[in-house]
Amino acid sequence: MISMGGGKPIFITSKRGNQLILLSGYKYFVKASHSVGRMTKRRWNCSTHHAKGCRALLHTANDTILKINDRHNHSPVYRF
């Protein structure tokens, strides 16, 4: 699993019941999902994608992070 800044991904559920990822203070939502055999691949966008135009994203396969573009145009949303 790839992590940035030493952070571990935390899978949470939103108030509306959608799956989210918290990683190094940033929150991501599922933009696209598809299954290939037994594997479920998902593309996650930063939660500020629509409001601030942040283009950071990550890709997962069966909840394992495969690829990250961690170039955010804003400060972390959450501080731990």
Do 67 and 41 touch, CB atoms closer than 8 A? Answer: no
45-61 mean pLDDT: 90
Distance CA(46)–CA(53), nearest Å, equals 9
User: Under 8 Å CB-to-CB from 23, ≥6 apart: which residues?
Assistant: 3, 4, 7, 8, 9, 10, 58
Residue 77 DSSP SS3: coil
For range 10-29, the mean pLDDT: 93
Quick one: pLDDT at residue 77? 77
In this prediction, residue 80 has a pLDDT band, given cuts at 50, 70 and 90, of low
- Chain-wide mean pLDDT for the chain? 86
The CA–CA distances, whole Å, from 33 to 19, 36, 45, 76 equal 12, 10, 12, 25
- DSSP code at position 7: -
pLDDT at residue number 1: 35
At 5, is the pLDDT very low, low, confident or very high (cuts 50, 70, 90)? very low
